[in-house]
């Protein structure tokens, strides 16, 4: 069976995790995978999560199946978190195994209902978007996103490309904290995108993996809420890996906004049938915790405070890095780092520069030069990064 199997390259981010683990240098710095770390280099379990886990442990009386669409309290609260006070009568939510699982079931569902559509991804995008959409049978193409010189969004080119899309185009957006670039569309750009979507009829597909890591839980949802008000239908894949720190528990949500309540039900039935034929029912533990936190006022507050602290740390690191690079180099080429949002910035490095950072300085960044700024523990690591970075780039 397996003798003639073609070798399969591992996803670069997953491969990097392995290489980093195997590196025995004790001064190594991991700025690779998108995992939040505090100033001690830890990814702690959030206090609200710990408390909810304790309550769940004490209260849970059975491990029987929950159901195909998962925890309904979780689905209800995530829908509110994402769509705000929008009319939810035409929105359906299905708990999924992580943001990635949500992306995949939504993509499979869309391939059943519109197999001849084409999927448009930002250039650049999260590497796993390609196999997810292609694996569901879609042809993929890219639309302009990042100006690689200024490291800002190439807004004119992006809007121009979107103005040429139509009803057979599924356009994938990052709801906030663009991965890998860190460059953000501003509210007025989302207003324009919403108008274009309504005018041309392209289908918006939102990947929302970092809500709360950009400006705030509310502001990070501006994109989706604005577009949802203008278009007849869209989908959202959201993740609780980062904002609840529940990475390994695989907590995500696949959401559908339909033209009407009836069409939302039809699409949701397709989604559930897709889920049934792959993982069947989603894992319960993480979603039960999120549902409990969002339901309970006190836990909710504790969680939001901690999330605010995580976001503040990221923003402070951004300002620190751009200040240090300006002082060190005497120019403002790296000022964009302070304007980016989320954990990532794409510094646009070639393979040689990325390899030198790793081999000579024990600093790990993703191919292409994506850094996870929260991978820097303290000022000493920041200084080491700035020194190494300036040496390999200037």
Torsion of CA 86, 89, 91, 95, to 10 degrees: 110
Nearer to ligand LMR, 70 or 182 (CB): 182
Asked if residue 223 binds ligand LMR (CB under 6 A), the reply is no
Asked if residue 198 binds ligand LMR (CB under 6 A), the reply is no
127 to 186, contacts with ligand LMR by CB under 6 A?
128, 179
Nearer to ligand LMR, 324 or 340 (CB): 340
338 is catalytic: no
Looking at the DSSP bridge assignments, the partners of residue 92 are 256
198 is catalytic: no
Residues whose CB is less than 8 angstroms from the CB of residue 137 and which lie 6 or more positions away in sequence, other chains included: 111, 115
Nearer to ligand LMR, 13 or 338 (CB): 13
CB of 11 to ligand LMR, least distance (A): 7
123 is catalytic: no
Nearer to ligand LMR, 252 or 258 (CB): 252
CB-based contact 374:318 (threshold 8 Å): no
Kindly state the tokens that stand for 33: 């995978």
∠ CA 81-82-86, nearest 5°, is 95
Catalytic residue among 169, 207, 220, 249: 207
CB-based contact 234:25 (threshold 8 Å): no
Q: Which of 33, 68, 155, 367 binds ligand LMR (CB under 6 A)?
A: 33
Asked if residue 34 binds ligand LMR (CB under 6 A), the reply is yes
CB of 285 to ligand LMR, least distance (A): 19
242 is catalytic: yes
Asked if residue 126 binds ligand LMR (CB under 6 A), the reply is yes
Q: How many CA atoms lie within 13 A of 49 on its CB side?
A: 20
Looking at the chain, which runs of residues are DSSP E strands?
29-30, 91-96, 118-123, 139-144, 146-147, 152-153, 169-174, 203-208, 234-239, 252-257, 344-346, 363-364, 370-372
Catalytic residue among 93, 96, 209, 237: 209
Catalytic residue among 48, 52, 126, 288: 126
Q: Measured between alpha carbons, how far is 374 from 38 in angstroms, rounded to an integer? A: 7
Nearer to ligand LMR, 124 or 291 (CB): 124
Catalytic residue among 151, 242, 303, 374: 242
- How many amino acids of this chain bind ligand LMR (CB under 6 A)? 6
Q: Which residues bind ligand LMR (CB under 6 A)?
A: 13, 33-34, 126, 128, 179
Active site residues: 126, 207, 209, 242
């Amino acid at each position: 069976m397996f003798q003639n199997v073609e070798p399969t390259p591992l996803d670069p981010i997953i491969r990097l995790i392995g290489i980093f683990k195997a590196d025995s240098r004790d001064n190594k710095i991991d700025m690779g995978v998108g995992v939040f770390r505090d100033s001690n280099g830890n990814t702690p379990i959030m206090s609200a999560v710990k408390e909810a886990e304790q309550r769940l442990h004490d209260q849970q009386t059975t491990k029987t199946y929950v159901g195909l669409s998962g925890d309904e309290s979780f689905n209800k609260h995530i829908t509110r978190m994402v769509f705000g006070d929008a009319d939810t009568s035409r929105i359906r939510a299905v708990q999924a195994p992580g943001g990635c699982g949500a992306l995949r079931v939504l993509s499979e569902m869309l391939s059943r209902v519109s197999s001849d559509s084409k999927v448009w991804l930002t250039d650049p995008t999260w590497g796993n978007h390609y196999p997810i959409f292609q694996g569901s049978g879609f042809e993929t193409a890219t639309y302009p996103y990042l100006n690689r010189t200024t490291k800002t969004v190439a807004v004119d080119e992006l809007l121009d490309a979107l103005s040429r899309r139509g009803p057979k185009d599924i356009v994938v957006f990052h709801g906030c904290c663009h991965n890998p670039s860190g460059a953000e569309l501003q509210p007025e750009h989302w207003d324009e995108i919403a108008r274009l979507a309504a005018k041309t009829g392209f289908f918006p597909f939102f990947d929302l993996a970092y809500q709360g890591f950009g400006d705030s839980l509310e502001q990070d949802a501006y994109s989706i809420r604005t577009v949802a008000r203008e278009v007849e239908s869209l989908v959202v894949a959201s993740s609780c890996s980062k904002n609840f720190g529940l990475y390994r528990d695989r907590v995500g949500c696949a959401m559908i906004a339909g033209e009407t309540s009836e069409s939302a039900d039809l699409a949701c039935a397709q989604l559930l049938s897709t889920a049934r034929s792959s993982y069947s029912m989603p894992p319960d533990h993480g979603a039960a915790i999120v549902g409990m936190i969002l339901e309970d006022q006190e836990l909710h507050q504790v969680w939001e405070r901690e999330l605010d602290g995580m976001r503040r740390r990221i923003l402070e690191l951004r300002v620190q890095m751009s200040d240090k690079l300006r002082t060190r180099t005497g120019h403002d080429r790296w000022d964009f780092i302070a304007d980016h949002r989320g954990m990532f910035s794409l510094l646009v490095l070639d393979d040689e520069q990325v390899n030198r950072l790793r081999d000579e300085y024990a600093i790990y960044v993703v191919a292409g030069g994506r850094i996870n700024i929260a991978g820097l523990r303290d000022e000493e690591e920041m200084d080491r990064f700035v020194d190494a970075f300036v040496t390999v780039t200037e």
